[in-house]
Amino acid sequence: MRLSQLLKLKQDLQKHNNTKLEDAVNDAIAHVNQLAMSPTRLSEADTFQTLNAEYRNILPQLRKIDELKQSKIQDLDVKISEWDKQYFIDSYEMYESQHKLADVATHRDIRKLYTYENIKDIVKTRIYSYVDWRYPTLEIGPGDGEFTQYLTAGDPLYIVDIHQEFIDSTKKQFNEFYSTRRLRPYLINNDYDLSMLPQKQMAFVLAWNIFNYFPLEAIKDYIKEIVKVMRPGGVLMFSYNNSDRWQGAEMVENAFMCHTPKHVLLPLVESLGLEVIASKDYDPTVSWVEVRKPGVATTCKAHQSMGAVIQILDPDEDPKSIEARAQEELRVSLDAQTRFEIQRNRPDLLETAVEYKRLHNTTLEKALDIIFEQEGLDLSEVHNYKNHILMAQENMTAESIEQAREENLRLAKKARSNND
């Protein structure tokens, strides 16, 4: 018998539990005894005694059957364990010879085949419970973006894939502004290397329909890399092929997915210092795990960042110069948390600095330096405020430049009109 057949037999044996039958017989015995004690039925006492005896004879038989079932299940467990060892070896060979070398067309067909419509809403709900605009989010292996649209609340959203075609396909789902300013695509050429990503930043990581085709050794190595980019309190959600279920074992036998039984996978994940917060199984072969990195996620972000609109005073200014000024203006802007702290403790400082910036045509950073000096603030307080200056080049929007260019044209027309 193959592993899938052994698992199905074990499942069937466990499904038919004699405990319920034994409880039903005990209830029947109690009922018979109650009837036998009724004054109106004393003349039928012999009948009730006979029924009682027959019921009691059933109990030892049920217990014997249960003992035989448990013994058979133990025998099956031994055989299943033997098959486990062989399937682990087969999965690694399948990964090296097939899945690792599969082309884009093969990956696309697989993802379509095993992305079940009936569980999309469930997965979407789980994603929404974790994605937070205050933190960056990462999707590993987006494919054609089946779930990427549900991750856009993460700011920014990073995606990594081994195929440039999938990255391009995912980007096409979004408008140019989002795909160029908020989406961070990376092509991975070195297996699980995520060193190009910001470390200890991601609050949520999704790897859907990826680890289904990885052997346990590869999953372990990949999760180690993922942990490096997760912030404390961050959550990783990934699907896998739970071959503790006979349907999952069939996937291995048909060379579709790798052998990753839950009873081995969950302890492996915990050995990496992660807490298993949820483990779900849905028919026919959909399983996933949600794990959390120790700690509590914190952020200084008080609202989603926005770009700035830069007015162009010189009609002939080069667009690159416009962009550079916009980036500089945003770079020296205070981030949300700093604004909150200043407004809470010294609201007058921010108002004064903004007014000084406007009157003297300077940056907010320089205006604050002057105000700090005039107020006689100690260096430690200045240092704390200045530490929150936002490096916001990534938030400088395409819309800002377009609006600036339109203003440029308007001013140019006005200048020509005045000259005429």
335 in a structural domain: yes
Lowest pLDDT segment from 44-48, 89-93, 136-140, 258-262 = 44-48
Q: For residues 32 and 51, is the Cβ–Cβ distance under 8 A?
A: yes
Do residue 131 and residue 268 come from a single domain?
yes
233 in a structural domain: yes
What is the band of 417 on the pLDDT scale with cuts at 50, 70, 90? low
pLDDT at 19 over 50: yes
Do residue 228 and residue 114 come from a single domain?
yes
Residue type, 334: L
pLDDT at 290 over 60: yes
**Tell me, what CATH number does 126's domain have?**
3.40.50.150
93 in a structural domain: no
Do residue 245 and residue 386 come from a single domain?
no
Mean pLDDT of all residues in 61-71: 76
Mean pLDDT of all residues in 28-37: 62
Mean pLDDT of all residues in 119-140: 89
Single residue among 273, 292, 311 that ends a domain in this structure? 292
Do residue 63 and residue 128 come from a single domain?
no
The pLDDT value given to residue 315: 58
The pLDDT value given to residue 46: 63
Do residue 52 and residue 124 come from a single domain?
no
The pLDDT value given to residue 402: 52
Mean pLDDT of all residues in 225-248: 93
What is the band of 396 on the pLDDT scale with cuts at 50, 70, 90? very low
Lowest pLDDT segment from 6-20, 209-223, 302-316 = 302-316
Do residue 212 and residue 80 come from a single domain?
no
pLDDT at 181 over 50: yes
Do residue 270 and residue 145 come from a single domain?
yes
- The CA distance from 149 to 393, in Å, is 24
Do residue 167 and residue 275 come from a single domain?
yes
Range of the domain at 79: 3-87
Q: For residues 147 and 206, is the Cβ–Cβ distance under 8 A?
A: yes
409 in a structural domain: yes
- Domains held by the chain: number: 3
244 in a structural domain: yes
What is the band of 36 on the pLDDT scale with cuts at 50, 70, 90? low
Mean pLDDT of all residues in 348-368: 72
Mean pLDDT of all residues in 86-113: 79
Q: What is the mean pLDDT of the chain?
A: 75
Do residue 53 and residue 144 come from a single domain?
no
96 in a structural domain: no
pLDDT at 267 over 90: yes
94 in a structural domain: no
Share of the chain above pLDDT 90, in %: 20
Do residue 328 and residue 273 come from a single domain?
no
Q: With b meaning 16 or more CB within 10 Å and e meaning fewer, what string describes 221-234?
A: ebbeebbebbbeeb
Give 40-62 pLDDT, tens digit per residue.
555 565 666 676 677 677 777 77
Give 102-118 pLDDT, tens digit per residue.
778 888 877 776 666 77
Do residue 264 and residue 180 come from a single domain?
yes
Mean pLDDT of all residues in 180-195: 82
Do residue 83 and residue 151 come from a single domain?
no
Mean pLDDT of all residues in 84-101: 81
What is the band of 234 on the pLDDT scale with cuts at 50, 70, 90? very high
Lowest pLDDT segment from 55-59, 246-250, 258-262, 335-339 = 335-339
Give 166-179 pLDDT, tens digit per residue.
999 888 888 777 77
Single residue among 292, 310, 341 that ends a domain in this structure? 292
Mean pLDDT of all residues in 354-367: 75
180 in a structural domain: yes
